[in-house]
Every structure is written in C-alpha cells, then in structure tokens.
Amino acid sequence: MVRIVHKEVSGRVRLKIIGLKNSKEFGDFLFAHLEKLPFISDFSVNITTGSLLIYHSPQKNLIEIIQTVEYLAEEFRKTFINENSKREQEKPESFKERIIKKIKDKIPFKQEKKYQDWHLLDWRDIVKDLQTDETRGLSSDEAKRRLKNYGANSIESGETKSGFSLFLNQFKSVPVILLGVASIISLFTGGITDAIFIIGVVITNAIIGYKTERKTESLIKSLNKIFEHKSEVIRDGQVQSIESEELVPGDIVLLKPGSFVNADCRLIESINLSVDESALTGESLPVTKFVNLCIFNNGDNIPLADRCNMVYRGTFVVGGHGKAVVVETGNTTEIGKIKSLIEESETPKTAVQNQLDRLGIKLSIISALICAAVFVLGLLRGYGIIEMLKSSISLAVAAVPEGLPTVATTTFALGMANLRRQGILIRELKAVETLGTINTICFDKTGTLTLNKMSVAEVFIDTKLYQSDGKNLYEFQSEVKVEENPTLKELLKISILCNDSKLTFDNGKYNIVGTPTENALVKLANYITANPEELREKYKRIKTFYRAENRHFMLTIHETENPDEYLVAIKGAPDRLLEFSNQLMHNGEIKHFTERELLLYSEANELMSSKGLRVLGFCYGILSKIHRDLINELNSEDCNCSKIIDSIDIVWLGLIGFKDPIREGVKELIERFHLAGIETVMITGDQSLTATAIAEELSLSRKGHINVVETSRLENGQTDIDEINVFSRATPTDKLKIVKALQSKGKYVAMTGDGINDGPALKVADLGISMGKAGTEIARDVAEIVIEDDDLSKLELAIANGRNTYVNIRKSIHYLVSTNLSEIFTMFSCIALKAGQPLTPIQLLWINLISDIFPGLALSIEPLDRELMKQPPRNPDEELLNMTQLRRHFLEASAITLSTMTAYLYGISRYGVSPASSSIAFLSLSLSQILHAYSCKSERKSILSSDTFSNKYLNLAVGGTLLLQIALSFIPGLRNLLGLTPLKMIDYGVVSMTTLGSVLINESLKKTKN
C-alpha cells in the first residue's frame, strides 16, 4: 500500500510504502525499476523510514505516479514474497509441527480471521485473499461452510440483568444490611415480633425497587424492535436475497438506494454511490464512495469517516449503486468494536448512592456506640443482661432510620413513574437522582440538536442573497415571486433536471426518495414552481455523468423543444464550476462573466460556507446536436466531461446553500440550561465550520465566545478541555475520551445521542440520554434515559424532576433523622436517670415503621418547584446530611425529647413506672414526630405560611397516622400487642400540650419567612 506523506511542492512527492522499511530487497527492486521511468527526473529510496521521494514532471498526474508505484510494490510482493513462501513450504516439517497438525485436523475449531486495514488494500487482492469471485460470488456450499466457521453475522449482546439479580440489587445498601443484622439478633433474643417487623420493611423496600426497575427495563426493550434487513448477494453466479445473519466474509453484495449495509465491506464497484453514515460517524451529509485506494496525508491512521472505499454495517445507501465484498461480520465489524467498548466501560455510582452508604456507616458507628453505652450503663444500674441486650437492640433499631431505604427507593420510583407519563423512560432508579447533579451536557449534533434532514437555507443569484425556510424564498422578509425572477426560475429548473430524487404522490401526500441534498432541491422547487416530474418529462434526460473522485460535479444532458439542441445541466462544487463558466445570467439576461463578478460569487461561496452551509453551484449550456456522436462515445464513469464543456458556453446561474435544520425550540432550551447553571457542549463528527455555525446559532457558550477544537488536535491531559464548547470530527473513541476528560475535571456529565457512534460515550457518562424513535438500538440499550418521542425539551423537565427529587429526599432525611434521634435521646435519658424504659422494642418499631415512613414518604413527593431551574446545580459532593444540618436535627430532636420526657415524668408521678406512663410517653413522642413533618417542609418558611398544606399526600399521611395513633388506645388487639393501656381525658390533655410545645419550639428555631 502506498500513501502520500507530502505533496505541497509542485513536481515533488514523498510517499510511504508499507513493507519498504528495513527491506533492502524491496529498496533495490524500486531503484532498479524507477530509474527507467521517463517522467521521473530523480528519486530517493529510504529503507530506514520506509519512504520514497520522487521528483517528477509537474504535468504528470499524481494518481498515475501512485498507481505506478503500487504496481511495482505488487510486482515485488509476487516476485520475492511468493518465492520466500515457496522456500518455506519446501522445508521439511519438524516432529513438533507434524504433531500440532494432526491435533488440529482432529479437533474442530471456529475459524478466526485476522483483522486487516481493508481500506488500505486493493480490492483485487482482497477478493483473491478471501477466495471469492467478483462476478459469480461464493458457491452456496462454500457460504454454508464459512457460516459454520465464522459464525452468524450478528453482534453478541451484553449480559441482560435477570429478575433475580435485579431483586438482589435492592439489598445492597448499608441501612438495609443493618436492618437485616438487627432482625437476626432479635430472633436469637426471643424478639420474633420485632424481627418480623424489620424483615417486613426490608422486603417491602426490595419489592418496590424491583418492580419499578423491571417495568421500565421492559418498556425500553420494547422500543428495540428488531428490523430484519435482507441483503442482496451474488452466489452461484445468481443474485439472491438472504437474511443479514447469513452473510459471510467473501460474499459479494449489491448496494442500491434504500438498502441497509449489513456487514463491513470493501467496494469493488461504485456508480455515484452515496451512503448515510451519520449513525456511525456523526457526519450529517451522505458520503460519496469510490473504489480507489484511500490517499491520505496523515499517515496510516485514516479516520473512519474518510475511508471512502468502505461501507460499514449500520449505514444506509441513499443514492447510486455499487458492489462490494464482505470483509468483516458480527463482532469484528466496526459496530462490533463499538459494542466491545461499551461492554468494557463501567457505569459510575451516583452521588446519593455513595452518600447513603456513608450515612449508613455513620449511623452504624453511632448505633454501636449507643448500644454499648446503654448496655454498660444499664448493667451498672442493676438491670439484667437479657433485658439490657433487648433494650440495646431496640436502640440500635431506633438509630437506623428504617424508612430511609424505603423513602429513597420510593422517591426515585415515583420520579420514574412521573417521567414515564411524560414520555421519558428511566432505566434505573439512581438515574433520577443523577439528573439533579448534572452540570455539563454533551450534545451529539446530528439527529439530536438538528433534524438530520437537509433543507435549502440561502440562495445567491443576481448578486443578491435570498433566505429560505426550505419552502419559499424571502428578500427582507418579503416572499420572492418566481415568475418575477427569470434567473431564479432557470436555477430551479436546472436543480430539478440535474437531480435523481423521485417525487411521488400517494394518499394525498408527497413522498421524496433520494439523497437529502437533492430532496431539498425537489422540495423547494415543488413548493414554488410546477411539478418537478412534469419538468423532467418536458426535458427528457439522455445522458448522466455523476460526481466522481476527479469530477466534483454532476452533469446531465437533456432533449429540448428545439430539435437541433441539447440542454446541459450542471451542479457541483462552486469553485470548480466557476472555473469553466464564461457567461452569467443576470436578471434573466445572459452576459459575459467578468472578473469582478467572478470574485463576487467566490466571496459569496466562502461566506455561505463559513456559516456551516453546504454550498452547490449551478450552471448550464446549450449543446448542438451536431455533437451527438461525441455524447455517444463518452463513458459515464471515467469521463472528465472536458470535451463537452470545451464545446459550449457555460452560463453561470448562482449558489444554493443547504443546512441541517436545528430542532424547533432547541435554542431556547439551551438558554434555559444556561440559566440553570448547566454548561452545554457539542461533540460531532462534522467539519469544524459546520459545527461552529450550528454552535453560534444556538449560542452554545454561556460566555459568548465559541471555542472549537478538532479532536485530532487534542492533546492527552489537555488542561483547558472544560473550556471547549465544540469538539468536531469526533470518532466513537474520541467521544468516550472527551466525556472521561470532562469527568476528570470534576464535571458531572450527561451525554445525549442517537447513533451507533454515541454508544461508548453514553455508557461511560454519568447519565446517558438517547432518543426513542431516531435512536439506534445500541444507543437505547446503554442509555439510562430514553426520550420516547425524541422531544429534546423534555430533558429540561427531567433535570427539574431530578433536582426536586434530591430536595425532597433531604426533607425526608431531615424528618427521619430528627425523629429517630428523639427516640434515642428519650431512651438514653430515661435509662441514665434510672426512670425505667419508657418505650418497649415493639413500640419503637411501630413508631419507626408506621409513624415515620408515611409522613417521610409524603415529604418525598412534594410538588415540583420551578424555581429550582433558576438556580445552579448543587455541588455533587455536598453531603445529604452535613454537620450544620446535623446540629439542627439534634436541636429539633431535643425539643421532641423534652416534650416526651415531660409527658413521661407526668405519667410516672401519676401512675409510677407502668404501662400507663409508657402509653403517655408513646403517644406524646409519636404525635410530636408526626406533626414535625410540617416543620420539615421548609427550613425557612413558617408552618403558618400559605403553602403548608399544599401537599395533599402529606395531609393524608399526617391525618391518617394521627388517627391511627389515637385509635390504638381504643382497639384492644393492637393496644395489647403494643402493651398500651387506656388513658383518661387529663392524660390526653397533657399529651396534646406537650405535642404542641415541641412544634412551637422547633418553629422558633427557624429563620422564618412567611
């Protein structure tokens, strides 16, 4: 394989030749043959670097020079390498080699094919190497044999989580483990009822999490409908249609518009073939494919998007025809490699997961210390060992908020259910929390920020620039009438004639089939002129010269109403068309094309290109029918059309600029993200100019200036990577590295994408977000969030819900920790004062499991606060429970303890240490805790504020648990189970006063804001 290293100096080219490095034989071979070539004046062979420097005639075509060197390299390979192989074969086999051969012959094994840089090899060598035939293909028997050896052409999926593993995942938090240990100890000490209560809440928590995750997983899987794409292949010399899984290396496949590419293939024939690779590379425009070897200036590492002689699995043919040989199938395709990257990437833990673990550890330490202190203190006070062991376990249970795992899980589950109703599917509970931590969003451009549909944006004719919405043209917001503009009318005519898109009318609706760019031209012409198909019928096409590697335009020849003339329609690269245009249509009149006008159109081309538009030029000519023989003798595939162009006057018409339209509402969405303190970044496979124009139109940077960097120029460990707004020409591996680099800078990154090439980055990001309709199956498989209807604005709603969920969880933790601390303080104080045990283990469990969970759960579903999206995202490292908050919880718990102790001491003074005094303490403590839920709604607003009762679920929870607690005194079965006794009215009065007192004290601790 030969590749250009440097060609900037006229008459000189430096080539790199694979196999030349350190090969004296190859160097001598080249020296002997190159000196005989007349068009080479001098040359230098360097076997140390593997390069060849050639001085040649400037008139000599560079491609011919490269082809000559490639021919010599192939001759050397045949002459020397084949001789060496022959000598190797003539060597007698050693004893070891004979043994290995016998073993291999007896043991069946799956054939493995070494991966090669197929784009660097000549297709003839590949066909020969794969032992196939470009005209007859493989035989059916050989195809079956290869299918058995290589395996089916399918990509192995990663392990799917089983229902059992999903259920087990619910038991992996530290608080749940603590509760499990407490239940086991309770069983060994005779507390069977206590153990049943604890196990009950643990299992309830697990069922809630399991059912929610399982249901969402099935919803996302339902989006991944399997579309079985068939492939047309040549086998046994006949064209056959087979299932894509049956493709094998060596198959000859036929490519035509509308067909999917189902394996990685090397082209062996291309007629104006263009392929949509946006799902794989991120390129928004279809890529024109050629058969020739890739010539690239940057060494061996040719980017995927620049491999012009390859077509890859997962891409789509939009125009032209071709033939290719299959070189990779299944997991060895480019998609298969991306899948491997995805499987190797680890999904990070969320902040709440980590913090709940840390909180559980802290509570474990507190629990152990309290248990030890109470146990020792009780023994010193004369209590029995078994009695103190039970009391210590009760305190340990009180120290762990049993409701915490349930509240956190249920909050996330309810958040998932709410978002699901909005068309936002969340794969795992933890993703809801992660939404609230996101401070950077990386957007894929094609299909996410844009529609992945080309549309006419600007037209430059008659030295005037017109704007377009894809349907009409406007000048200063006034609609342009085509009948009043002859140049525009002629431009639209040429754009339709030199165009392969087909327009059909079915069921009252227009359908356009073709490449996105040509479709855009047909759409514009159809809206503002007559039916394009009628125009084509009037000017029947008789010859087509498609765009090719050395021909940067498309030329078509048509019959006209004049029997002595042909119409020549041309569209293509503006700079090339401007070179051979010698006339200009201006306001409908044909005139000489002056240097000033040529410069004007050249500058207009550059200006439109700088806006990120794809620009095409249009011109035409009239060819006399005396040149009919000239037309017939030209070959559509290899002609550079110079004979036709030189025979006529070429009339320049103007420029048309195309863009991939931005999704409606995306610009406003970006503004709202900035208001919420979220940085927005674009990662795309597009060119820098296109990406910059889109970024500027979206105001992507919060600071105003757009910083664009091509990923090939990124340096490892680049320190300012978090200052870059746009990463262009990004490969799947680049996207993965960019996300990881941003994470290393302390960013919490969300990645949006819908293509195959987005898969690895979606997996490794803190939050992967895919589209439900436009998204590929790989993208949906690895994303934590799937937007079902592709409405990107729903991402804002999801983030707002994520932030609100975190705030609500903090409210629940506030409530649970402060109330559980009050239980600990009450028990510890009474034992220290030798005032008996005010609460039995079963009473503590009742308070924790019934009185705590429902109000705590209701706090976790407080309504969405829209003001959250006007605040910056919270610091992901911020603790759910910091020291400032813990001090406040201590004070609030002390207030509740004070009211409970007051009631309990009243009971002792009236009834002594008895079930009656315990019943008074039980009611005072539980009612104080329940009403404390309203105080936990806000750290600043008073309980008397207008929105205190805005949460209907909290009202139901508080009202229901209050009634249940009071009813305990009147229901004999429950009363006996909990060891309670009936109370007198004065006792209920004391309970009410002490409860109200705790509420007033805690409210006085707030910096009130009504």
Indicate which residues carry an active-site annotation. Answer: 444
Return the number of other C-beta atoms located less than 10 Å from residue 575's C-beta.
14
Torsion of CA 112, 115, 120, 125, to 10 degrees: -10
Distance CA 884, CA 284 (A): 52
Q: How far apart are CA 332 and CA 44, in angstroms?
A: 39
Closest to 112 in 3D by CA, of 262, 314, 331: 331
Residue the block writes with tokens 């054939």 = 111
CA angle 829/833/838 to nearest 5° reads 60
DSSP, collapsed to helix, strand or coil, labels residue 113 as coil
Give Cβ neighbours of residue 408 (< 8 Å, ≥ 6 apart): 352, 356, 809, 812, 860
Question: With b meaning 16 or more CB within 10 Å and e meaning fewer, what string describes 422-446?
Answer: eebbbbbbbbbbbbbbbbbbbbbbb
- Which of 786, 634, 797 is closest to 216 using CA atoms? 786
339: its two tokens? 């899948």
C-alpha span between 288 and 310 (Å, rounded): 11
Residues 6+ apart with CB under 8 A from 536: 496, 497
Beta strands 708-710 and 614-624 are unpaired
Please work out, in degrees rounded to the nearest 5, the angle formed at the alpha carbon of residue 432 by the alpha carbons of 428 and 433.
Answer: 115
Tokens at 206, concatenated? 């697990």
Chain centroid offset of residue 458 CA: 31
Give the C-alpha separation, 197 to 190, whole Å.
14
Amino acid at 603: E
Cβ 42 vs Cβ 55: under 8 Å: yes
Give the integer Cα–Cα distance in Å for 930 and 866.
Answer: 28
Among the listed residues 775, 762, 162, 686, the one whose alpha carbon sits nearest the alpha carbon of residue 447: 775
Three-class secondary structure assignment of 698-735 = HCCCCCCCCCEEEHHHCCCCCCCHHHCCEEECCCHHHH
The tokens for 420 are 């699901």
Show Cβ contacts of residue 405 under 8 Å, excluding neighbours closer than 6 positions.
Answer: 173, 175, 176, 179, 202, 205, 356
- Residues 893, 443: contact at Cβ < 8 Å? no
Residue 600 corresponds to which tokens in the numbers above?
Answer: 């004007």
User: Cα separation of 813 and 405, whole Å?
Assistant: 10
Q: List the beta bridge partners of residue 418.
A: none
Q: Are 651 and 583 in contact (CB under 8 A)?
A: yes
CB atoms within 10 A of CB 833: 11
Residues in the chain: 1010
Residue 262 to residue 269: CA distance in whole angstroms: 17
Residue labelled with tokens 């680890």: 346
DSSP structural state of residue 345: P
Residue 251 contacts residue 309 (beta carbons within 8 Å):
no
User: What ranges make up the beta strands (E) of 702-830?
Assistant: 708-710, 726-728, 749-753, 767-771, 785-787
> Euclidean distance between the first and final Cα of the chain, in Å?
78
Secondary element (H or E) of residue 86: helix 82-90
Can you tell me which residue has the tokens 């970044």? 681
The stretches of 941-984 forming alpha helices (DSSP H) are 952-967, 972-978
- Kindly state the DSSP code that residue 774 receives in the 8-state scheme: S
